[in-house]
Amino acid sequence: MRGKLIVMEGVDGTGKRTQSAALVAYLEEQGYKTSHYSYPDYKSPNGMRIYAYLHGRLEMSIDRLFNEYLEDMLKDKAKIEEDLEGGKIVVVDRYFMSTIAYQSAQGFGYERAKRMEDEAMLPRPDMIIYFEMPLYVSVARKEKQRAEEMSGKDRFEGDEKIQRGAGFYYNKMMEEGYPTKNWVPIQSEGDVKEVHKKVAAAVEKMLKKRESEMIA
């Protein structure tokens, strides 16, 4: 049975990293085989250049930046496909929808961004969990996280205009049903455990539907 690709999306500070890790742990407790990816992958050459750009150590054009993000995901394309063919539930913290949202918010053409992602033929998500919360809450959360980790803001985190623009393009993709109609918006402002319960319930519903279809 082919696995499922579940993607966590949302603007910075909405809890994607926490919730993706919690979902992987939950699925493994339920007996599912999983794999977990996160983008940008700051251990990869592309990811290191993206990190340098985001923290003001490197300058690059918007076209080059878009391609750095795309190439960072393309390096894992075959592995993700192999995981899915092997029946794994693949959980991804940010995927190409994030690249489209954030780069479009900076002025990269939205339709062009979608076309380039389509041409790359990355594995398509079966479900996109989209975390929503008021921008002032997500900004405050990110500020607290950075203080605890003693790390500086990156260019995107520190720019509310970009965060607002990314939210606009996320919603545009959700309305269009791109690249799947299965977007699941979840309010993530509340208690982390309660948010996790909502995520787990949505994922279980999809997996049970898959299993019932296989039996039928």
pLDDT per residue as tens digits for the range 35-53 = 999 999 999 999 999 999 9
Domain count, the chain: 1
Structure tokens at 80: 């993700």
Structure tokens at 167: 């939210």
In the three-class reduction of DSSP (H, G, I as helix; E, B as strand; rest coil), residue 8 is classed as strand
- The CATH number linked to 62 is 3.40.50.300
pLDDT attached to residue 157: 67
Confidence band of 101 (pLDDT split at 50, 70, 90): very high
Number of neighbours of residue 174 by Cβ within 10 angstroms: 18
Q: What is the pLDDT of residues 144-184, one digit of tens each?
A: 766 655 556 667 766 789 999 999 999 999 999 999 999 99
pLDDT attached to residue 137: 81
Confidence band of 92 (pLDDT split at 50, 70, 90): very high
Average model confidence (pLDDT) across the chain: 92
Domain that holds residue 45: 4-215
| DSSP assignments along 72-127, one per residue | HHHTTHHHHHHHHHTT-EEEEES-HHHHHHHHHHTT--HHHHHHHHHHHTPPPPSE
pLDDT attached to residue 32: 97
Confidence band of 190 (pLDDT split at 50, 70, 90): confident
| Average of per-residue pLDDT across 195-212 | 91
Decide the pairing of beta strands 183-187 and 4-9. Answer: unpaired
Phi-psi region of 177 (alpha: psi -120 to 50; beta: other; left: phi over 0): left
Higher-scoring residue by pLDDT: 108, 214: 108
Q: Which residues contact 137 (CB under 8 A, 6 or more apart)?
A: 13, 189
Structure tokens at 202: 């949505």
| Average of per-residue pLDDT across 12-39 | 96
| Average of per-residue pLDDT across 21-28 | 98
pLDDT attached to residue 97: 98
Per-residue pLDDT for 192 more than 80?
A: yes
In this prediction, what percent of the chain has a pLDDT beyond 90? Answer: 81
